[in-house]
């Protein structure tokens, strides 16, 4: 299927999504419909910054990306690093001991995750990831799904150039960076180590990186007064 046809079909599916949704959410949901997936997400991977989920079509997709964000591992990261499709069946992969796969199975059940890099002008802008239940195949071949991901990436990049405020996840992510800076100041560690500690806290408490960051920015949490950053207070 040629690029023009895929773009036209994407526009048709976007017209079925409520216009009140943000552009990333509309693109995400339209892509899910085109691929006949059960859900999906869009993750941005800006230069010199940690990757972060920008949009998700439903709660399960949010859980899948939250697990991968906390562990900084999984098919989304693989697609980002290799600039190629990364696909995994969570139940099959769980036969080989892996904490990430175990957490994905608990979060989403028997799903297959397909992660496509959004390649724009030779660079990976982010990842379009979709999932299907019970190892059901997507309705499009990998080459069409990859073209779709590239088109979604180009649309997002054009939107960022035209109106960065349309990407509504930026404010939430800014709080993560602010929280990272606070942990750097509290513990005198590198930004990379600070983010690792935030991830560890989120995993230990069964919550999200954004929730831990909110606690830090709101000063409900201070890692300097904790025993090990995972929630145990000093005696």
Determine the pLDDT at residue 169: 53
pLDDT for the residue numbered 58? 97
User: What whole-number distance in Å separates Cα of residue 102 and Cα of residue 9?
Assistant: 36
Residue 89 maps to which CATH number? Answer: 3.30.450.40
Which residues are registered as beta bridge partners of 40? 130
Residues 157 and 184 reside in one and the same domain: no
Residues 24-62 pLDDT 10s: 999 999 999 999 999 999 998 876 567 788 899 999 999
Average pLDDT over residues 165-182: 69
Identify the band that residue 177 occupies on the pLDDT scale cut at 50, 70 and 90. Answer: confident
Report which of residues 91 and 102 the model is more confident about.
Answer: 102
**pLDDT above 60 for 167:** no
Q: Is residue 207 part of a domain?
A: yes
Range of the domain at 80: 3-163
The winner for highest mean pLDDT among 19-28, 96-105, 183-192 is 19-28
Residue 88 included in any domain: yes
- Asked whether residue 30 falls in the same domain as residue 115, the answer is yes
Q: What are phi and psi of 56, to 5 degrees?
A: -145, 145
More confident residue, 164 or 27: 27
Q: What is the mean pLDDT of residues 182-199?
A: 86
Is the predicted pLDDT of residue 154 greater than 50, yes or no?
Answer: yes
Q: Specify whether 55 is located in the same domain as 97.
A: yes
- Contact yes or no for 129/75 (Cβ under 8 A): yes
60 domain-assigned: yes
Higher pLDDT, 159 or 45: 45
Total domains, the chain: 2
Q: What is d(CA 1, CA 93) in angstroms, rounded to the nearest whole number? A: 31
Residues 194 and 126 both lie in one domain: no
Predicted confidence (pLDDT) at residue 195 exceeds the cutoff of 50: yes
Higher pLDDT, 209 or 229: 209
Which domain CATH number covers 211?
A: 1.10.10
Confidence at residue 43, expressed as pLDDT on a 0 to 100 scale: 94
| 125 and 149, same domain (yes or no) | yes
C-alpha distances (whole Å) from 85 to each of 23, 100, 121, 217 are 24, 19, 17, 36
| Torsion over CA: 201, 205, 211, 217 (sign) | negative
221 with 148, same domain: the answer is no
Q: How confident is the model at residue 178 (pLDDT cuts 50, 70, 90)?
A: confident
Identify whether residues 94 and 51 lie together within a single domain: yes
What's the chain's average pLDDT? 86
How far CA 178 is from CA of 130, 150, 191, 212, 217, in Å, comes to 30, 31, 11, 12, 7
Could you tell me if 209 and 107 lie in one domain?
Answer: no
Domain shared by 91 and 156, yes or no: yes
């Amino acid at each position: 299927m040629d690029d023009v046809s895929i773009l036209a079909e994407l526009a048709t599916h976007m017209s079925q999504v409520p216009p009140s949704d943000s552009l990333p959410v509309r693109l995400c949901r339209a892509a899910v419909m085109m691929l006949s997936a059960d859900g999906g997400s869009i993750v941005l991977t800006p230069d010199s910054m940690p990757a972060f989920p920008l949009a998700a079509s439903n709660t399960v997709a949010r859980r899948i990306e939250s697990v991968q964000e906390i562990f900084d591992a999984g098919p989304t990261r693989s697609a980002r690093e290799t600039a190629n499709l990364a696909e995994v069946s969570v139940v099959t992969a769980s036969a080989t001991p892996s904490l990430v796969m175990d957490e994905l199975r608990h979060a989403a059940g028997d799903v297959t995750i397909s992660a496509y890099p959004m390649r724009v002008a030779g660079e990976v802008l982010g990842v379009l990831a979709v999932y299907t239940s019970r190892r059901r195949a997507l309705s499009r071949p990998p080459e069409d799904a990859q073209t779709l991901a590239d088109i979604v990436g180009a649309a997002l990049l054009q939107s960022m150039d035209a109106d960065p405020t349309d990407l509504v996840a930026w404010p939430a992510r800014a709080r993560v960076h602010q929280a990272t800076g606070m942990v750097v100041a509290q513990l005198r560690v590198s930004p990379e180590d600070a983010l690792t500690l935030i991830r560890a806290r989120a995993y230990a408490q069964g919550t999200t990186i954004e929730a831990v960051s909110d606690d830090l920015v709101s000063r409900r949490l201070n890692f300097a007064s904790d025993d090990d950053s995972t929630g145990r207070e000093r005696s």
